[in-house]
């Protein structure tokens, strides 16, 4: 590869058509299924899709195909799914309510506006580029546009071997557990404890070494986590519920993304 080769130009915006939503679903399939060598949910399927796609907003990052600016041949390289509370309530609730009991939290915080983040993925060859940063800028612009107070969602640890994820779970449950006022539990009978042994402590170095970059990013912003994790065998992950009130975001990020009222 030429050392002076021009870097691809990247930009972000919301999906504007059904075709772009389908492109996001194909990108998710490539990352969640093909890259992980998982079988498709149905024979011949080449998209990761569910009923929530139809009423969510889809944030996209594109690579420009030429120097003339954004156009129809640009390649989709990253995506995030955004679901506002008022829209979710019109369609039976949030996606994460399939794993976690959200109703008590939403009732306690009934004066706040929630946004669910989900289905985050970036093509492997673009993960060394600032795609995640662009996605977060897009999310933050969306948060300010819609006066969102709290971001929530499931962050996934790949694979269902809980023992392998124990250092991360132990660390998160020890140092990042949500206060009682913000606490969420997995659905009855379906949760596993984040902290297996209160006396065991948490190995920070090991946890950070194996922690997915997305989870590290949430921690940097100032998130907290639910008391339980959830083993999603259908998706082959262990899911951690993330809670990120806008008021608790680390202020140093505002210099880059913009102040909450900006």
Look at 45-49, 94-98, 195-199 and tell me which has the smallest mean pLDDT.
195-199
What pTM does this model have?
Answer: 0.91
* Residue-wise pLDDT tens digits, 62-78: 998 876 556 668 999 99
- CATH number for the domain running over 10-257: 3.40.630.30
* Residue-wise pLDDT tens digits, 138-196: 999 999 999 999 999 999 999 999 999 999 999 999 889 999 999 999 999 999 999 87
pLDDT at 210 over 70: yes
What's the Cα-to-Cα distance from 188 to each of 98, 238, 244, 249, rounded to whole Å? Answer: 11, 16, 23, 30
| pLDDT recorded at residue 2 | 46
Q: Average pLDDT, stretch 51-61?
A: 98
State the distance between the two ends of the chain, measured CA to CA, in whole angstroms.
41
């Amino acid at each position: 590869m030429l050392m002076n080769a021009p870097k691809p130009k990247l930009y972000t915006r919301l999906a504007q058509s059904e075709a772009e939503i389908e492109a996001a679903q194909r990108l998710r399939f490539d990352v969640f299924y093909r890259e992980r060598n998982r079988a498709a949910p149905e024979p011949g399927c080449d998209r990761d899709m569910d009923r929530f796609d139809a009423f969510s907003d889809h944030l996209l990052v594109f690579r420009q195909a030429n120097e003339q600016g954004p156009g129809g041949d640009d390649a989709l390289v990253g995506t995030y799914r955004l679901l506002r509370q008022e829209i979710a309530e019109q369609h039976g609730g949030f996606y994460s309510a399939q794993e976690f009991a959200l109703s008590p939290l939403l009732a306690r915080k009934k004066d706040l506006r929630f946004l669910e983040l989900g289905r985050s993925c970036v093509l492997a060859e673009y993960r060394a580029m600032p795609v995640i940063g662009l996605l977060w800028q897009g999310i933050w612009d969306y948060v300010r546009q819609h006066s969102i107070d709290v971001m929530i969602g499931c962050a996934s640890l790949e694979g269902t071997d809980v023992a392998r994820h124990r250092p991360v779970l132990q660390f998160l449950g020890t140092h990042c557990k949500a206060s009682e006022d913000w606490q969420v539990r997995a659905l009855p009978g379906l949760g596993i404890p984040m902290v297996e042994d209160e006396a065991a402590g948490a190995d920070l170095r090991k946890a950070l070494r194996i922690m997915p970059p997305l989870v590290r990013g949430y921690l940097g912003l100032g998130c907290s986590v639910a008391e339980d994790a959830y083993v999603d065998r259908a998706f082959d992950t262990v899911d951690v519920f993330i809670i990120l009130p806008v008021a608790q975001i680390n202020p140093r990020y505002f210099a880059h993304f913009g102040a909450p009222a900006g």
